[in-house]
Structure 1
Amino acid sequence: MGVPLLAIVAWSGTGKTTLLQQVIPLLKARGIRTGLIKHTHHQMDIDTPGKDSYLLRKAGADQVIVASHQRWALMCETPDKPLDLADLAARMDYSALDLVLVEGFKDEPVAKIALWRRGVKGEVADLLDEHVIALVSDENLTIDLPLLDINQPVKIADFIENWLR
């Protein structure tokens, strides 16, 4: 792979998206161009029911690109294919990126920052594997990893920038 992948892993409801919403602009302000791959357990459509792209995809097109002057999106029908993070990442334009952030995919063998809050389902130990490079939490835990405060997104961005170097 041409660009490093860094996953943010946590139990549902912990605040992965909220944290990324805070950290991505900080990285961008430092000149770090980020891509994002988000895993969801929910069914999803990114096109609008009734619009041409939706109608043509529902008519049986296996892949649809919707494009405008501002952005484009590729939708692929993959009902019988398991999710493959490497395959998804390979579809990104590495020439325009310095880092691909991954929300979810906690079982993948890529560098990870684990996010944990007391009171959210699941134990912190269940998030940790040999690929976790730091823990972000609202608790002062004793752990053999860098521990970052969930309420200090600048320090989390500092950590990611240093890791990227």
Structure 2
Amino acid sequence: MSVPLLAIAAWSGTGKTTLLQQLIPLLKARGIRPGLIKHTHHQMEIDQPGKDSYLLRKAGAEQVIVASDQRWALMCETQNQPVDLMMLAARMDTSRLDMVLVEGFRHEPVAKIALWRRGIKDDVAGLLDEHVIALASDEALTLDIPVLDINQPSIIADFIQQWLSEHS
């Protein structure tokens, strides 16, 4: 992996996707080209039933690439194996990226910005490990790491830009 990984980790319902939707354009405006890996606990089907790629995958193809002039996607059957973040990151074309943002994977040993809102779930301590480089919250907390305002995505983007300049 030749580009840094930075995870956005939080309890479900905290706003990881919402924050990333705001951060990605801000990072791109700063000249940073982010990729993204998103973890989901839900059953997902990105292919459409009845389409050729779906039919061929269901027929037993272990991997299927669907490609057009606009985009391509690789679908791999995993037979309910645990998801491996580093294997996924290795599949990305990092020659076109400056960093890979990761949504979820809060137990992985990668740099993370943890998100915490009071009342969502548990105490903030449940999110903090040695890989958390900052906390974005709607609460003013005193910690040994930077605490960023979760409602100010531009401040978080500034922090990411500074972190990236130190880690790339």
TM-score greater than 0.5 by the shorter chain: yes
CA distance in 2, matches of 1:37, 1:96: 15
RMSD (CA atoms): 0.7
Partners of 1:19 and 1:80 in 2: how far apart?
A: 29
Paired residue secondary structure (2:101): strand
Q: How does 1:13-162 map to 2 (within 5 A)?
A: 13-162=13-162
Spell out, residue by residue over 1:51-102, the C-alpha distance to the aligned partner (whole angstroms, 9 max, x if none). 1111111111100000000000000000143211110000000100000000
SS at match of 1:13: coil
Deviation at 1:25, TM superposition (A): 0.3
Cα distance in 1, alignment partners of residues 30 and 56 from structure 2: 41
Q: Tell me the secondary structure at the aligned position of residue 160 of structure 1.
A: helix
Q: Which amino acid aligns with 1:35?
A: G
SS in 2 for 1:154: helix
Q: What's the secondary structure of 1:19's corresponding residue?
A: helix
The alpha carbon displacement at 1:143 in A equals: 1.1
What is the SS of the residue equivalent to 2:86?
helix
Shift of 1:122: 2.1
- Letter in structure 1 aligned against 2:162: N
Deviations 1:123-155 (A, max 9, x none): 210100000000000011111110100110000
User: In the aligned structure 1, how far is the partner of 2:141 from the partner of 2:129?
Assistant: 17
Secondary structure, aligned partner of 1:86: helix
Give, in whole Å, the separation in 2 of the partners of 1:159 and 1:35: 17
CA distance in 1, matches of 2:96, 2:104: 22
Paired amino acid for 1:55: L
Normalising by the residue count of structure 2, what TM-score does the alignment of the two structures yield?
Answer: 0.96
Whichever residue aligns with residue 8 of structure 2, its letter is: I
Give the paired residue count: 165
Secondary structure (helix, strand or coil) at the match of 1:36 reads: strand
Q: 3-state SS of the aligned residue for 1:55?
A: helix
Structure 2 match to 1:164: 164
CA distance, structure 2, for counterparts of residue 152 and residue 135 of structure 1: 13
Match of 2:119, SS state, is coil
Structure 1 stretch 126-135 or stretch 73-82: which is displaced more?
A: 73-82
Runs of 4+ in 1 over 6 A off after TM superposition: none
Tell me the distance in 2 between the aligned counterparts of 1:89 and 1:76: 14
Paired residue secondary structure (1:20)? helix
